[in-house]
Structure 1
Amino acid sequence: MTINDENKIAVHLSEPLLDCALAAFRGASGGRAGALSSWNLSEPWSACATWEGVTCAGGRVSRLVLEGLSLSGPSALPHLARLDRLRVLSLKSNLLSGPIPDLSPLSTTLKLLFLSHNALSGPIPDSLFSLTRLYRLDLSCNNLSGPVPVEGLDRLDRLLTLRLDSNRLSGPVSALALPRLQDSISLQPPLRAIPARSPPSRPRRSPPTPRSAARRSRPARLRQRPHAPLGEAAARVPPAAAVVGPRPPPPPRPAAGGG
């Protein structure tokens, strides 16, 4: 291999690191039986296109979408910070616990981060505010606590979606200035303090994620009332005696005792 063959060098150098990161994540996350059985890390790296929830580009993982797989544990998430070309990370509706790890190694690439409906706890870490390329951030329906870090969130000025609801966060957010914000259940309407509270038993739905948005919604069919059979329709027609109108005069009686 020549020095000028830069693309191949990059791919070959990245494979062991990515294999190690994914293997460590799979080993630490558990999940339901067979959830990540398609991750055959002994295969050539080009086979990653067939792995559950993994999308690769140029020998690097660019998307990791693993939703509703019962992935659990506090030590799984930190391994994903080594996927240095990751643009989309969606782990919603799992059982992940512990604090949000340091994802700052993804600061130049990560654009979508969905961690809702887990059991993550602790404060929102300062390292999260280094992800300045984010435009979707959903941390709702966890056990996050502490004050809402307004100053840090203001650094994420590309955000279109911000979801912090159904946590144990508290504090004022009236000073939050995110000019592009379009979707934020926790901040609408209007901007006000968020009281500390426990997550509700039936949390609100999260915004569409890469997996849920790909599903095409089926149009609802209008329920048509079945036509009554001809016999039933005829039976509902009122009889002639029931028709409103003048009655005909009675027939004349015959004369009595004629001879």
Structure 2
Amino acid sequence: MTDPTAVFHRVRQLVPSDQELVYVTDDTLVTEAITLMHGGGYDQLPVVAGDEILGVFSFREFALRLNSQPQLLKHGLKSLVVEDFVEEVPLVRETDRLDFAVRQLRSSGTVLVGDQNSLLAILTGEDLVAYLHRLAEPYILVQEIELGVRALIESCANETVMSGAIKNALSSKYSADLSRMPVRIEDLTYDEQINVVVNGRNYPLFQPAFGRHADAVGLQLRPVGDLRNAVFHFRRPLAVVEVELLVETRDWVLRRCRRFSARLKGGDENVA
């Protein structure tokens, strides 16, 4: 049985799957902590004392503290320990809601995941951006593809010509009730738009924008329809290879738009 709460975004989903939790104790020398951070590419490290989570040691806090308290360097850099540069940051649970973690990240830039005696992960704004990008990327790609295709279609025909092209491609589909047949391009489904473009009677009209071969256009654009439905109806997450297909198709549509726009600006209407 599926847990119905699993559909809600939680803090645990922000934690990178490959994150290796590295921390230092409060008595660690600053020079050792900096060496560890530099070697691992970290901007900050959690600081613990026994079972207690104290906060984080960061390049930012270290620089700010030295700037405001230069006397800390009285005995030299090698004498400093991270305890004197700990920054307290919010502690969130892995089951907390995403929006709660976002508010904490906006205020502090870093949060620790766990409880006061058990550290599980560290999260930064970069982790949030990466997570939201993974969520949003399929939607953005589908939007760019669909709107790009529509823009190319609209650049080839006015409303009157478009109405005729729609009839050529879709009359048989709506033969039982022609009054239901769309007359505007924005009222068509994605698949119907592709059918209008690659229709044998219509393609000479759209060839300048889409290229010489209708079959190639169909092969490039049709697979997006099923992926679009999976994305917008929340049927399933897309596999990496499917997202890559959307990226490839978006790039193809963008190239067609750029090429067509450049030829029109140059006064060349034979852009195929």
Q: TM-score normalised by the shorter chain: which range applies?
A: under 0.3
Q: Which has the higher contact order (CA 8 A, sep 6+)?
A: 2
What is the TM-score when the length of structure 1 is the normalising length? 0.21
* TM-score, length basis structure 2: 0.20
Bigger proportion of residues as strand: 1
Considering fraction of residues, name the structure with more helix: 2
